[in-house]
Chains A and B, each alone.
Chain A
Amino acid sequence: MEQHIQEVHSSLLEHSGGWSIMLLLLIPLLLYLAAAMKEHRRQQFWSRLRSLSFISGIVLIAVAVSPVVTSAAHHDPRAHMAQHLVLGMFAPPFLVLAAPITLLLRTLPLQAGRSLARVLRTRGVHLLSHPFTAFALNIGGMYVLYLTPLFRLSLSHPALHIVVGVHFLASGSLYAWAIAGPDPAPGRPGIRVRTAVLVAGIAAHAVLAKLMYAHLLPAGTPFSPEEVRDAAMLMYYGGDVAELLLAVALFASWYRRRRRSRARRRARPVLVVSSARP
């Protein structure tokens, strides 16, 4: 009886938690759209695609934390995996490609913008946003979750489940930013290092998924072997799709930069001629 009450209580907590997180998501969304609108009013160009990307990212998070998915995730490891995939791998590229920090730097009042730029240039942010750090936090976090008792604990502790979700979203966004983010990242290594980290990330993710498939991990859960294998396969193929997105974002930015620098080189002689005239 007491256990039953406790279960009802924790699911209630989770339900109200799900709805309030969904409401909380409205704050960044409205702030972003307001800033984009401000840019438009000032006749500054802000790509609608970037805004659309941010909306998509927020919608993905909202679906992943919705009470429907959260309660399904409670007794089905496939739903659980889908939730983690969306939070850690699908939503982050959309958020990062929306260039929220660029938008923030453009629309903040001068003084606040300067302080933000100063913070971005600090050594701590350099270290944190380095692809190696992002890799360790993101992929390392997955290994810790699925290979240690942490996963089992998160099933019975809603608060821990939320912390895990937040970690997935934060570290996934950090990783996407470090690999392919359009936002300014002073001191970020070049395309070779970032490609190498991306390859290592995809490999580490694929290996973990196959280990989970082979050894029925995470261990000690109440789920059936078929369900656990399905979840591992979902992780493998779902991860592929998300990482393909990230690879496209990385190389598309390389391609755009090259085109732009060629166009600039071609334009330079004309500029010289025109500036020579009085």
Chain B
Amino acid sequence: MLQATALIGIGLMAAVDEIVFHQLLAWHHFYDRSTSDIALLSDGLLHAAELVAVVAGFFMWADLRHRNIAAPRLAWGGFLVGAGSFQIFDGLVDHKVLRVHQVRYGVELLAYDLAWNAAGIVLLGLGLILIGQAPSGNLSRSSRDAAE
């Protein structure tokens, strides 16, 4: 269950990044001159994994629903953990380590970077709290399910 909705979380967060920040706000650039070929490759792989993750996640979730073993709290927990982890990964590895592109151009970056990663930490934290609160039966059932 966590797997399924975490995949949806990762994929949707990536879609939000793509649609809101690249297309609507045009803060991010499609490509900037400092992007190395290695960064381009990792960006491509990440992009591909996100696209497939969201589709796989939705069908895995549909499968759980069909078997009546979907637990909402755990599902939301997984979703938020996926979304938060992606946000932090994007903020640290893509923007800072690989420097694929920056949050915004022509501005003092520090505040934007902090806000970006803080948002990720909040999402991740909320997700972990939700998972912690889930009735323990759900967790063991979902782990048994994974072993199946």
Contact = CB atoms under 8 A, between A and B. Distances in A.
B51 interface: yes
Contacts of A255: 59, 62-63
Contact of B51 (A200, A202, A204, A207): A202
B48 interface: yes
Contact of A210 (B31, B45, B56): B31
A203 B44 contact: yes
A252 B55 CA distance: 9
A213 B30 CA distance: 9
B44 A214 contact: no
Nearest to A244: B51
A203 B56 contact: no
Nearest to A196: B52
A240 B43 CA distance: 14
Contacts of B62: 255
B35 interface: yes
Contacts of B45: 199, 203
A8 B119 CA distance: 61
Contacts of A210: 30-31, 40, 43-44
A236 B30 CA distance: 10
Contacts of B52: 195, 198-199, 202, 247
Given A200-B48, A204-B44, A207-B41, A251 B55 contact: yes
Nearest to A211: B40
A8 to B, nearest CB: 39
Chain A at the B interface: SS class:
helix
A158 B37 CA distance: 34
B63 A258 contact: yes
Contacts of A206: 43-44, 47-48
A159 interface: no
A244 B48 contact: no
B108 to A, nearest CB: 27
Interface string B54-68: 011011001100110
Contacts of A202: 44, 47-48, 51-52
B49 interface: yes
Contacts of A200: 48
Contacts of A213: 30-31
A254 B35 CA distance: 37
Given A213-B30, A258-B63, A262-B67, A199 B56 contact: no
A240 B51 contact: yes
A202 B40 CA distance: 13
Interface string B122-133: 000000000000
A251 B59 contact: yes
B56 A195 contact: yes
Interface of B: 30-31, 35, 37, 40-41, 43-45, 47-49, 51-52, 55-56, 58-59, 62-63, 66-67
